[in-house]
Amino acid sequence: MKRHLPLIAAWLIAAGPALAVTPPAGADHKLPPGIAWQQGDVDAAFALAKSSNKPLFLYWGAVWCPPCNQVKATLFNRQDFIDRTRQFIPVYLDGDSPGAQKLGAQFKVRGYPTMILFKPDGTEITRLPGEVDGERYLSTLELGLTAARPVKALLAAALKGDKLALGDWQLLADYSWDTDQAQLVPEDKLAATLLQLARAVPAGNEALAARLQLKALAAAATADKAPALDKPAAQAALAKVLGNPKLARDNFDVLVNYAGDIAGFVSESGPARDALVKAWDQALQRLAIDATLSTNDRLGAVTAQIALARLGKPEGALSEPLLKTVRAAVADADKRTTNGYERQSVISTAGYTLAQAGLLEESDKLLQAELKRSHSPYYFMLALASNAKQRGDKAAAVDWYEKAYASSEGPATRLQWGTTYVSGAVELAPQDEARIEKAASSVIGELAGTQNAFYERNRRSLEKLVAKLQGWNKDKKHDAAVKRVLGQLSGICGKLPAKDPQKPVCEGLVKPGKAA
């Protein structure tokens, strides 16, 4: 199942009036306050967990990441969560901290945020779902803290047909399959496995079965290769959830984040799809005004309405009633959100929602105003670049990609943003060889001072960068420039110790096929 992160798009208009925003507490906006987070030496934290016989809670995130900021604003600040942290060793791992990407590879964590609960001996218990509401999260955390067996063992037992306790089934249903990274199930078997689990849930626990089935549909709808599926049965199962307000509320995360994907996957244009979309839209309308959901989640329900309206007709104007709903929801979210962490998430969703509705100028204005309020404005600069690209203003898009890279902070983030800048320039200004070479050379030049530059997200950014340059040079028109950049990378490879596992990775980038 692929995690959905909005690709927000907008371009520059005048900034709006100033808004009083509560900044993240303390001088270091990276750390949520109130929790005795362990940082830096993760091995020492695991040793402490073992010696104190306490589980270990690992958070992996990034300062700029909207879902990470949502977790900080709606979960890590809850007193009941803070109180629970006394039961375990809380570890905060920022993707830009020294050694973080190597640790990311060790723990098989990729997407931000990923949250894992370990036993005192270091055995992984479960991965916690960051997209659910606080009550469900805390319930899952409590089950994990008291679980006799890790989710991996529970999954094997369930697939064999063994009898499981109700709490065990709950752990399986609320496991963060989005961040599993094929630890428990290969990606191409995830949908089928979740369907098998849904069928195995004991009678009388229809809510758990429904959640597993919904997650199976999300996995199937977003798979690289669509699996076989009984689509009429899927439509019937969806109708039961959508027609039940409690079930819909309990599964809002799937219904909101995968609305267009699932509806488009299980139905074709015609009466069946029309009926499904109508029921889904009605459920989303209820969720959009549900005061028990966070501002961001309510706004996400409106975004999902747009996704359904775009099924089969991705271009063109939306209906006036829906546009009115979008504008009202965004204005309300902008007005009510004053916490600096939460705004990073809410304005991300709001800008994306406006852009998806075709309201590019309004999206521009919102995002541009946020640049001077956000603790990570470079994130919104990528959104502005994407919107400029959407409207066909290539020059403005590339300029925003450059500004985003120039103002980004942290080694892993700068590598990712720099790669995005190079990729954008190659796509939108391929004739500007000087600019592309300068940008790529700058990105490569920073690697020399980057610890663990060839692990996890860093490695994937570099693979993308090199692939983009090679594609740009497929006709050999930019051979000299690409050779200079790859030569610069080769020099970094040469300085790595012979036994450093990063060395073959680096050399494989310079000369594909040479990696171990």
Query: pLDDT tens digits for 440-488?
Result: 999 999 998 888 999 999 999 999 999 999 999 999 999 999 999 999 9
Beta bridge partners of 54: none
Tell me, letter by letter, the H, E, C secondary structure of 169-198.
HHHHHCCCHHHCCCCCCCHHHHHHHHHHHH
Looking at residue 110, its pLDDT comes to 87
Burial 147-165 (b: 16+ CB within 10 A, else e): bebbbbebbeebeeeeebe
Residue 516 has pLDDT above 80, yes or no: no
Relative to beta strand 56-61, strand 89-94 is: parallel
Residue 228 has pLDDT above 90, yes or no: no
Our CA angle for 346, 9, 442, nearest 5°, is 105
| Contacting residues for 206 by C-beta, under 8 A, at least 6 apart | none
Strands (E), 124-180: 124-128
Our CA angle for 135, 197, 56, nearest 5°, is 45
- Asked if 137 contacts 128 with a C-beta cutoff of 8 angstroms, the reply is yes
- Asked if 424 contacts 401 with a C-beta cutoff of 8 angstroms, the reply is yes
If you average pLDDT over every residue of the chain, what do you get?
A: 92
Looking at residue 7, its pLDDT comes to 36
Radius of gyration, alpha carbons of the chain: 23
Query: pLDDT tens digits for 393-444?
Result: 999 999 999 999 999 999 999 999 999 999 999 999 999 999 999 999 999 9
At residue 206 the predicted structure's pLDDT band, cuts being 50, 70 and 90, is very high
How large is the average pLDDT for residues 100-126? 95
Burial 187-212 (b: 16+ CB within 10 A, else e): beebbbbbbebbebbeeeeebbbbbb
Q: Give kind and range of the element (H or E) at residue 57.
A: strand 56-61
Alpha-carbon distances, residue 372 vs 18, 74, 367, 380, 489 (angstroms): 9, 23, 10, 10, 35
Place of tokens 């997650």: 215
The arrangement of strands across the sheet holding 114-118 comes to: 89-94, 56-61, 114-118, 124-128
Residue 13 has pLDDT above 70, yes or no: no
- Work out the burial of residue 140: count CB atoms within 10 Å of its CB; fewer than 13 is exposed, 13-18 middle, 19 or more buried: buried
This prediction's pTM: 0.91
Place of tokens 């603790």: 375
How large is the average pLDDT for residues 211-218? 97
* Integer Cα distance of 345 and 297 in angstroms: 10
* Integer Cα distance of 306 and 239 in angstroms: 19
Residue 90 has pLDDT above 50, yes or no: yes
Q: Which amino acid is located at 409 in the chain?
A: E
| Contacting residues for 246 by C-beta, under 8 A, at least 6 apart | none
Percent of the chain clearing pLDDT 70 (strictly above) = 93
Alpha-carbon distances, residue 465 vs 10, 42, 189, 415, 483 (angstroms): 24, 30, 30, 9, 14
At residue 21 the predicted structure's pLDDT band, cuts being 50, 70 and 90, is very low
Residue 374 has pLDDT above 60, yes or no: yes
Looking at residue 30, its pLDDT comes to 63
